[in-house]
Structure 1
Amino acid sequence: MATHNNHLNGDAISNRHVSKKPKLAPTAAVAVITEDDLHSEFSHHDPAVARINNGSFGCCPASVIAAQRRWQLLNLRQPDHFYFNELKKGILHSRTIIKDLVNAEHVDEISIVDNATTAAAVVLQQTAWAFHEGRFQKGVDAVVMLHYAYGSVKKSVEAYVSRAGGDVIQVPLPFPLTSPNEIITEFRCALERAKSGAHGIGCTSVDMQEIGADFYTSNLHKWFFCPPSIAFLYSRKNSSSCDLHHPVVSHEYGNGLAVESAWIGNRDYSAQLVVPDVLEFVNRFEGGIQGIKRRNHEKVVEMGQMLAAAWGTHLGSPPEMCASMAMVGLPACLGIRCDLDVARLRTHLRDEFGVEVPIYFRAPAAAISAGDVVTGYARISYQVYNKVEDYYKFRDAVDQLVNSGFTCAQLST
């Protein structure tokens, strides 16, 4: 197992490539984006759909798609030249930008992987080995996770930790929330902290020095305008980070996670190479990525409150706890009784009204009493391409269902 410092990123000349911290706000040399530019950048979106679900798949502007295509053609034109002269250098450039964006201490702490699911597998694989090798004790040590953890992360915990004999503790959290203290009361971090912030970068503040996590991952294709799929995994430099490995073993095994992740066989790496182009895109907005996050937060709260007022419901958490997404209660008269109901209702809204929005079932703590308990929540997102009309379309669709006497029971027939 390689433990030397120059193996942490697998590039003996990496220090010569580290760039200056990227500017996060536009300069005079950057053409500030206009409404026409914005429309052109996202003209490939289906105009018939109110797309208020950026949180699931993100978005990618046309200029970044064009940059990705240039990388793809560069590879296809002369693969050997691309591999030996462009790929490693380009990925290191992207890692350096990410390092500065999230305030990591060193580029060695940043690896680029496909998505947050892959990043979770990297960390949980190490945890499983620790149980197998006796560094963690079966029946004594445990993995603690929130009960609302992303489904694939839960499956990864089952696949790696449970099968290795480790105990898994799920911490239930209250919902709806009234304050952050409710979360703190329910959950205290373990000494080794691993955080999956799939929506983090581009959606909320991500600062490794403030967060203090040993591991942190976030997708860049959700809120940072990268094409799918790309995520970063931050691993604080310590003795245990040297034992992290990509679950797909290839020629670079043992040269450090960042290098292992940068080559897992012949495949399309273009999504990992366009981070500089994405940074150029976000810097065309007033305030750069910070300005985008601020405006998205303000608008999603405004739209969430508008919907809640129209339906006589409430937000799932206080406005200050929303980033670029908000949970909005749906009218109780829709008769949402289970997860199958919300799946069918979501499909109905997509197919019949052209509204794309995730819907979640939340059983109340007490028994459901007829017509007076909110059991369904819509998770709305706001991104730069969204317009107020998208949310009016959603509001009007739900109003039409309510006024027609619709209930989810009708979708089961």
Structure 2
Amino acid sequence: MADDEIADVIVTNGGSNHNNHASKKQKIQSLITSSEIRSEFAHHDPGTARINNGSFGSCPGSIIEAQRRYQLEFLKQPDRFFYTELQPRVLRSRKMIKELINADDVSEVSIVDNVTTAVAIVLRHVSWEFCEGRFEKGDVVVILDCAFDAVKKSIEAYVKRAGGEVVVVEMKFPVVSGEEIVERFRKGIRMGKEGGRRIRLAIIDHVTSMPCVVVPVKEMVRVCREEGVEYVFVDAAHAIGSVEVDVRDIGADFYVSNLHKWLFCPPSVALFYCRKSRVSDGLHHPVVSSEYGNGLAIESSWIGTRDYSSQLVVPEVLEFVNRFEGGIDGIRKRNHDAVVEMAGMLAEAWGTSLGCPADMCPSMAMVGVPSILGILSDNHAQKLRAHLRNEFGVEVPLYYHRLKDGEVGVRDRNGLITTYARISHQVYNTVDDYLKFRDAVNQLVQNKFTCEMLS
């Protein structure tokens, strides 16, 4: 496509009804070209094939400029900014997020720094339930084995110290089907209830991080309701902007998602949804300020003198995504289709396979790395990742899959596939990024490279 050709066209400022953030009375004709996309992300390292949007996201230049304007406005007159302008602007962002996720009421939506902060809020509340005698020693928290490390550490810091126990549900990888995940999760819940114990909290990933797969979250929430789980928390760090999010339909008590991963916000900002029936149940921000006791949303919107600009650019971000055909829904679908296509191309070129069915990929996909490279440990995988970055200009995470007892694993033409690459696709990516990765791996294979060669 030539620079002056239209890359995407949008005729209205919205997708589905609950994703329409513009005035219904005003329909805006707008477009974005390929050259404009390149301009928005011109600050990216031009020498790097950046196919790792999943880790830190990407912020367009126009949003960086908007953030800078808020920062300068604060520095120009901080008293006026904090006392008269900050709260209305945070509320404006919360209202837009409410529509984006289809929440019932804006009081259910708080803005926090990141998913880790929201996890701390919920787990600290659970620890108080133990310490104050409402939960009993030995009551259980259930998580998936692929839960983010910060979540596992937070459980250790808050729940286990307070007397709770943890049941870890194994999610087999590569993934065969969503039904298999649900059935394993149900068995884990029932194991946690053995001996008369009660499940006080279940933490479910909507999109697992490493390995990456879209989890059948709605069905797993339903299992929790059927089995009498007290609280259901959905860790959806990678969800918003990458998969469809409808918190009413999902039905969890708590749902949290980073806005800086797939929704183009600058770091760090996350939405924290708390179902209306749970709002008054004593949740508090871990940083106590003068707003303590005024509700989680207000507590979260003021935690002392800091930079709140990443929370304020939500209107500008939604304006940006609505420059694309179909808005965020259109971006999400095109990213999914593109990453599945590129993953298939890589797997075919290397004689490997994907880590899950295509319909369980978000805007990321797991692709087997040729076994001939001899990746025999996580340390090998991390060294190879650095080698790809430093020698070939390819930035991509590598996941070393350690076989558990009884697992057979997946083989390519040379042996057992031990490692998978997690590739991402965002609007700034081109086919050349993935061809660069393909060719780098092919060159290593042709040169009979093995990870043992890396010091």
* 1:49-71 deviation line (CA, Å, top 9, x unaligned): 00000000000001111110010
Residues 110-149 of structure 1 aligned to structure 2 (within 5 Å): 110-139=109-138, 141-149=139-147
Q: Give distance in 2, aligned partners of 1:221 and 1:376.
A: 27
* 1:229-257 deviation line (CA, Å, top 9, x unaligned): 00011000125643111111111111100
Deviation at 1:31, TM superposition (A): 2.2
Letter in 2 for 1:218: S
1:205/1:241 Cα in 2 relative to 1: closer, same or farther (>3 Å)?
Answer: farther
Asked whether the equivalents of residues 24 and 288 of structure 1 are also in contact (C-alpha less than 8 Å), the reply is: no
Match of 1:373 in 2: 416
Match of 1:4 in 2: none
1:24/1:343 Cα in 2 relative to 1: closer, same or farther (>3 Å)?
Answer: farther
> Alignment partner for residue 437 of structure 2, among 378, 386, 394?
394
Match of 1:186 in 2: 184
What 5-or-longer segments of structure 2 have no aligned partner? 1-17, 187-222
Q: Give distance in 2, aligned partners of 1:132 and 1:61.
A: 45
Deviation at 1:410, TM superposition (A): 1.2
Letter in 1 for 2:371: A
Q: Give distance in 1, aligned partners of 2:330 and 2:443.
A: 36
Asked whether the equivalents of residues 53 and 356 of structure 1 are also in contact (C-alpha less than 8 Å), the reply is: yes
Match of 2:106 in 1: 107
Asked whether the equivalents of residues 24 and 290 of structure 1 are also in contact (C-alpha less than 8 Å), the reply is: no
Match of 2:367 in 1: 328
Task: Out of 189-198 and 380-389, give the one that drifted further.
Answer: 189-198
Letter in 2 for 1:236: R
Bigger RCO of structures 1 and 2 (CA < 8 A, at least 6 apart): 1
* 1:295-343 deviation line (CA, Å, top 9, x unaligned): 0000000000000000000000000000100000000111111111111
Deviation at 1:84, TM superposition (A): 1.4
Residues 298-377 of structure 1 aligned to structure 2 (within 5 Å): 298-365=337-404, 366=407, 371-377=414-420
Letter in 2 for 1:379: R
Q: Give distance in 2, aligned partners of 1:372 and 1:391.
A: 24
Q: Give distance in 1, aligned partners of 2:324 and 2:234.
A: 29
> Alignment partner for residue 148 of structure 2, among 139, 147, 150?
150
Letter in 2 for 1:88: Q
Superposition TM-score, scaled by structure 2 size: 0.84
Letter in 1 for 2:420: Y
1:315/1:23 Cα in 2 relative to 1: closer, same or farther (>3 Å)?
Answer: farther
> Alignment partner for residue 250 of structure 1, among 289, 292, 299?
289
Asked whether the equivalents of residues 220 and 232 of structure 1 are also in contact (C-alpha less than 8 Å), the reply is: yes
Give the superposed CA RMSD. 1.8
Deviation at 1:203, TM superposition (A): 0.3
* 1:33-63 deviation line (CA, Å, top 9, x unaligned): 1111111100011110000000000000011
Secondary structure, counterpart of 1:316 in structure 2: coil
> Alignment partner for residue 270 of structure 1, among 298, 309, 312?
309
What 5-or-longer segments of structure 1 have no aligned partner? 1-18
- Is 2:89 the counterpart of 1:46? no
Letter in 1 for 2:452: A
Percent identity (aligned)? 58
1:235/1:406 Cα in 2 relative to 1: closer, same or farther (>3 Å)?
Answer: same
* 1:80-119 deviation line (CA, Å, top 9, x unaligned): 0001111000000000000000000000000000000101
Q: Give distance in 1, aligned partners of 2:126 and 2:84.
A: 36
Q: Give distance in 2, aligned partners of 1:121 and 1:255.
A: 19
Q: Give distance in 2, aligned partners of 1:377 and 1:24.
A: 44
Secondary structure, counterpart of 1:229 in structure 2: coil
Length, aligned pairs only: 392
Deviation at 1:364, TM superposition (A): 3.0
* 1:203-239 deviation line (CA, Å, top 9, x unaligned): 0011011110000000000000000000011000125
Task: Out of 270-279 and 401-410, give the one that drifted further.
Answer: 401-410
Letter in 2 for 1:84: Y
Superposition TM-score, scaled by structure 1 size: 0.92
* 1:258-314 deviation line (CA, Å, top 9, x unaligned): 011001010000000000000000000000000000000000000000000000000
* 1:174-196 deviation line (CA, Å, top 9, x unaligned): 10012111101110343221010
Match of 1:208 in 2: 247
* 1:142-178 deviation line (CA, Å, top 9, x unaligned): 0000000011111111111111110011100110012
Asked whether the equivalents of residues 24 and 289 of structure 1 are also in contact (C-alpha less than 8 Å), the reply is: no
1:204/1:20 Cα in 2 relative to 1: closer, same or farther (>3 Å)?
Answer: closer
- Is 2:426 the counterpart of 1:383? yes
Asked whether the equivalents of residues 242 and 256 of structure 1 are also in contact (C-alpha less than 8 Å), the reply is: no
Deviation at 1:362, TM superposition (A): 0.5
Match of 1:175 in 2: 173
- Is 2:340 the counterpart of 1:297? no
Q: Give distance in 1, aligned partners of 2:408 and 2:323.
A: 51
